[in-house]
Structure 1
């Protein structure tokens, strides 16, 4: 994950610098002795503050505050708006209320400003504040207004900054084609203005879009090239941003050592700059590397530092990214409730921002955590959400790539059309060339469409397989491998609802003194006891009978078509089979016994729930009778007289 608005903020700061370098604008209320050729005394401080944004932000703030002190005595609306915008952008990622106060002061000065394009800067800064707290829909509306204002004012500097802000947000929302068009247009404006550092910032924004579109190698190359120029130009703060973005590209490529190096250098730079937000982002990256390298404890320690720093900024998305990394680390440490809580917190923010890549990762991790907690239903629901989000990302990336190709094709066609008008003598040849090129594009689009259909088919097949696998998991007890309570009751309920249901017996089988096995021998030995009993019962239960685990040390067996005598004989056989289990390997001082509760289904109107209640009551009778025995509780009409003792029946104390 990249720093959400850092590059776009730097771009806006640079746009303010362009305004100041372009020439001193006379204030609406100049002093009588001031002339057009005499720069305002605050001008130097604002120029220096705008330049320091890319190197040392604290120096930029100091110079801005010095300029405001001068402007208090020698007012100039344009210069004061620029100073307020510098402070606003600095505060937007540190103190939301203070940033809003600077916006309000700048907006109040707009009626006295001579440069109408400055209104676009105010709108951009308002959007920055909203984007930092993940209110992306409102931020986008403000960026749209900023583009319109800058266009009307014919202010190319502010238009480039507004296009950058809008393009970056569009890329964040997955609208890569339109976002790329904005960023390329902003870059072209900077090049026309001969501002190479500004153009480089726009190029970094383009690299971010490539990273989001899945072209990580291309993004990595662009960041490497940008970093070289930034080092040569002394753009210290920009290096911290680019290094973080480079680390994310390496992270996406699973190049963990390179990612660690980039994040560590970004952290060192941001720490020297006393920039908590940048430090927190870099620490999140280092924690992600530790998670990937199998060090969840180290990841949690790193994330604790990041959380302390994050509290100094209103950046909601940063907090969500930290919570996602915490959830992963806690999952690895089997701290499942805490992991689920952290992931749920991250999920809310990512949903609001509609950040598909992070949503996919959070849904997938949360599905695994909930499944490990035994909540198969909720885990399955989140797995479906992860698959749906992944499919949305895939379709969006393909659609946006097609849209990007179309924009490039339309642009190229327009340029060719203009060339035809200029060179009429070559019209026919150029028309033929364009026709051939169009056919080539059409063939390319057809091929890509076929590839897309095939890929979507593969995706659908994988989703079908995952659905089947999750349904099987949802109906199976993970420890013993036998069906779970849901599976048994789902199968039994239709049998009891038949107009003339067959006779049916139910047994609840409980391992005696199971808690003492766990206490004396440990949970691992207790698990072995459960598995051994499950294996023995599974070998003795044959269709149409079926078995399941109710939970804990209890198993249930349903025997459709069995009468009372057969059911009782089977219960005794199960009890004796369990006693025959050889436990010397792992329980050398005892053998396993079970208590069994038996009931029969009523001829009409019985349900799985009522049968479970009767069988459970019979089981408690067996426990009270000393365990290791079979007890019976029949339905009310049949239980007025006690069930006769079967020949040879023995109750064990």
Structure 2
């Protein structure tokens, strides 16, 4: 039910552009606006008003109002009847050429994306949401752009791209605040809480949900309360606070029945069944799941089907109906895998391992347990990396202490998770031994465990896209250099010029290819400074790269940076970005006595931004902190080493 938030945003199209369709009678426009206002309160009333508006507009057409009405109906039917929603989408799409408010086309793309998301095709949904963002931005329609950013941010969070998802959601929230749309701000904050929940910060997510519920109750937004109560229930489920989770799911069921909201009822029953499974009441859980499954058959929601099958598999295992349990879990796993839902994949692998172990299929149980561990480790690594990326986006001079606290919390969470995984491995080994599994299987298990641990250590310090060391590795190397009795190193900080324009104009796939090409040029820096055999060359985050060059003089580092800049400028990227060359700006500095990690990075960053301000595609060096230099001397020192061709 987490993606129910997305379905409601299609109804956010509230205010037409000034002067558009001024010849249409006020009654049709009023019906559309009343329909929009009722979406979060009484969806059935919203549908009736939208249909009345379309009946009036049939005799006095207005493409903008008609598209808005069709999108409201698409929103309504997307939670109930996929074929009806597709008919509304087709009607809206046919009117796109006649639109005066071009940004409304982004809403049509959002409607189509929501249908694909409901069907489990998250990759196609994300592509449509990204088209919507670009289209709304081009049309300079802030409301529709905020809508599209919301859709994209939510789905990025589902796929585990937490930092990018949070960035989209915060931009959407800022736009809705400027547009004075407080209810939409609440919905965005509710979705931010969903991402915190997926990042493992269930306590923070719970605070967001409880705050949102108070505001929604005061505004009478019953439908939104049902969604938020469910999300709160999921947080409580993750925290294993079963009594509180039961109360939250009971509220979802009560509100959904009052609203005749079948999807909400289905998710509420799933939540209640999860609580019953946790309380070792599998028969009660199955009865609830049967009701949810009957509802789900009429709904365009494969994700709900998978969630039902996961809980059904757990209940059947508790009832010792092991073949049926395995069948349900395998069906759920297939859907979660196609939707790239990593957390749900991990949970399903773990449940399936238990079922197969109880069946006596030790080889299958071991395989599923290994996949559970791999998925859990991947999720944990992604959560940690995405938290680092989020901190980088929000980094400023006053945030360093907060960053260290978060890093410590992340480390404790990682240690706890790894301890739990080791415990699970020992328990599984004991089961295998008690079942008289051959000793050779135990040997294979230990060998694979060591190989996986070694691979995970490598992944934790490697950027997945470029294959370079990541931000964590670079910071670790810097700290090691600074801890030496006689620190001696230079630092290069590079940033691809106008990288956002590359992503916006050519797509993120082209942007990824550019990052890989620049990474190839980065690898040559170590060879440029021959005596720095231990140089650390890394992707620092986004489009930034960093090089830590031990025992390297400033002029040598500047020379290496210049050659790096020239190599990038000479790259042939025409197949990825036709008509555009790629350049970089580089900041160079050198570690001096008294430097801290913060001061050294800040000085490199200042040099980098001086290069940007001086016209980009150049190298700028700084040799000492600004605070100890005379202003005139400081400015003289920050001159570019090379002017662009």
| TM-score scaled by length of structure 1 | 0.64
- For residues 17-55 of structure 1, what are the alpha-carbon distances to aligned partners after superposition, in whole Å with 9 as ceiling and x for unaligned? 2x24x656217xxxxxx3xxx744311110110001010
- For residues 407-441 of structure 1, what are the alpha-carbon distances to aligned partners after superposition, in whole Å with 9 as ceiling and x for unaligned? 001xx4xxxxxxxxxxxxxxxxxxxxx5xx58x46
Q: Structure 2: how far apart are the matches of 1:118 and 1:339?
A: 46
- Kindly report the root-mean-square deviation, in angstroms, between the aligned alpha carbons of the 2 structures: 2.4
1:271–1:408 CA distance, 2 compared to 1 (3 A): same
User: In the alignment, which residue of structure 1 is the partner of 2:10?
Assistant: 12
- For residues 226-264 of structure 1, what are the alpha-carbon distances to aligned partners after superposition, in whole Å with 9 as ceiling and x for unaligned? 111111111111111111111111111111111111111
Of 4, 25, 32, which aligns to 1:46?
32
Q: Does 1:56 align with 2:42?
A: yes
User: In the alignment, which residue of structure 2 is the partner of 1:344?
Assistant: 330
Q: Structure 2: how far apart are the matches of 1:297 and 1:469?
A: 27
Q: Structure 1 residues 459-468 or 89-98, which shifts more?
A: 459-468
1:470–1:59 CA distance, 2 compared to 1 (3 A): same
User: In the alignment, which residue of structure 1 is the partner of 2:559?
Assistant: none
User: In the alignment, which residue of structure 2 is the partner of 1:313?
Assistant: 299
Q: Structure 1 residues 231-240 or 468-477, which shifts more?
A: 468-477
TM-superposed CA distance for 1:303, in Å, is: 0.8
Is this contact kept in 1: 2:356–2:362, CA < 8 A? yes
Q: Structure 1: how far apart are the matches of 2:442 and 2:72?
A: 65
Q: Structure 2: how far apart are the matches of 1:53 and 1:263?
A: 21
TM-superposed CA distance for 1:470, in Å, is: 3.9
Q: 1:41 is paired with a residue of what secondary structure?
A: helix
1:25–1:490 CA distance, 2 compared to 1 (3 A): closer
Q: Structure 1: how far apart are the matches of 2:384 and 2:442?
A: 42
TM-superposed CA distance for 1:399, in Å, is: 0.7
- For residues 308-352 of structure 1, what are the alpha-carbon distances to aligned partners after superposition, in whole Å with 9 as ceiling and x for unaligned? 111110200100001111111111111111111111110001111
User: In the alignment, which residue of structure 2 is the partner of 1:398?
Assistant: 384
TM-superposed CA distance for 1:195, in Å, is: 1.1
User: In the alignment, which residue of structure 1 is the partner of 2:495?
Assistant: none
Q: Structure 2: how far apart are the matches of 1:449 and 1:246?
A: 26
TM-superposed CA distance for 1:401, in Å, is: 0.8
| Equivalence map 1:121-160=2 (5 Å) | 121-160=107-146
Q: Structure 2: how far apart are the matches of 1:343 and 1:7?
A: 26
Of 115, 118, 123, which aligns to 2:101?
115
- Residue segments in structure 2 that go unaligned for 5+ positions in a row: 444-645
Aligned residue pair count: 443
Q: Structure 1: how far apart are the matches of 2:301 and 2:111?
A: 15
Is this contact kept in 2: 1:377–1:474, CA < 8 A? no
User: In the alignment, which residue of structure 2 is the partner of 1:88?
Assistant: 74
| TM-score scaled by length of structure 2 | 0.65
Of 92, 105, 111, which aligns to 2:91?
105
Q: Structure 2: how far apart are the matches of 1:332 and 1:6?
A: 30
- For residues 124-159 of structure 1, what are the alpha-carbon distances to aligned partners after superposition, in whole Å with 9 as ceiling and x for unaligned? 011000000110000000000000000011101101
User: In the alignment, which residue of structure 2 is the partner of 1:494?
Assistant: none
- Residue segments in structure 1 that go unaligned for 5+ positions in a row: 28-33, 413-433, 478-482, 492-653
Is this contact kept in 1: 2:429–2:442, CA < 8 A? no
Q: 1:73 is paired with a residue of what secondary structure?
A: coil
TM-superposed CA distance for 1:469, in Å, is: 5.6
Is this contact kept in 2: 1:357–1:393, CA < 8 A? yes
User: In the alignment, which residue of structure 2 is the partner of 1:163?
Assistant: 149
| Equivalence map 1:130-279=2 (5 Å) | 130-279=116-265
Is this contact kept in 1: 2:82–2:300, CA < 8 A? yes
Q: Structure 2: how far apart are the matches of 1:308 and 1:126?
A: 26
TM-superposed CA distance for 1:223, in Å, is: 1.0
TM-superposed CA distance for 1:220, in Å, is: 1.1
- For residues 541-593 of structure 1, what are the alpha-carbon distances to aligned partners after superposition, in whole Å with 9 as ceiling and x for unaligned? xxxxxxxxxxxxxxxxxxxxxxxxxxxxxxxxxxxxxxxxxxxxxxxxxxxxx
Of 49, 71, 79, which aligns to 2:65?
79
User: In the alignment, which residue of structure 1 is the partner of 2:282?
Assistant: 296
Of 359, 362, 373, which aligns to 2:359?
373
Q: Structure 2: how far apart are the matches of 1:44 and 1:248?
A: 38
Q: Structure 1: how far apart are the matches of 2:231 and 2:412?
A: 33
- For residues 422-468 of structure 1, what are the alpha-carbon distances to aligned partners after superposition, in whole Å with 9 as ceiling and x for unaligned? xxxxxxxxxxxx5xx58x46x956x8778877876776676567556
TM-superposed CA distance for 1:473, in Å, is: 3.8
Higher alpha-carbon Rg: 1
1:157–1:460 CA distance, 2 compared to 1 (3 A): closer
Q: Structure 2: how far apart are the matches of 1:251 and 1:488?
A: 39
- For residues 34-88 of structure 1, what are the alpha-carbon distances to aligned partners after superposition, in whole Å with 9 as ceiling and x for unaligned? 3xxx744311110110001010101011001101100111110000010111111
Q: Structure 2: how far apart are the matches of 1:257 and 1:341?
A: 30
Q: Structure 1: how far apart are the matches of 2:325 and 2:346?
A: 16
Q: Structure 1 residues 459-468 or 350-359, which shifts more?
A: 459-468
TM-superposed CA distance for 1:5, in Å, is: 2.5
Is this contact kept in 1: 2:103–2:135, CA < 8 A? yes
| Equivalence map 1:504-523=2 (5 Å) | none
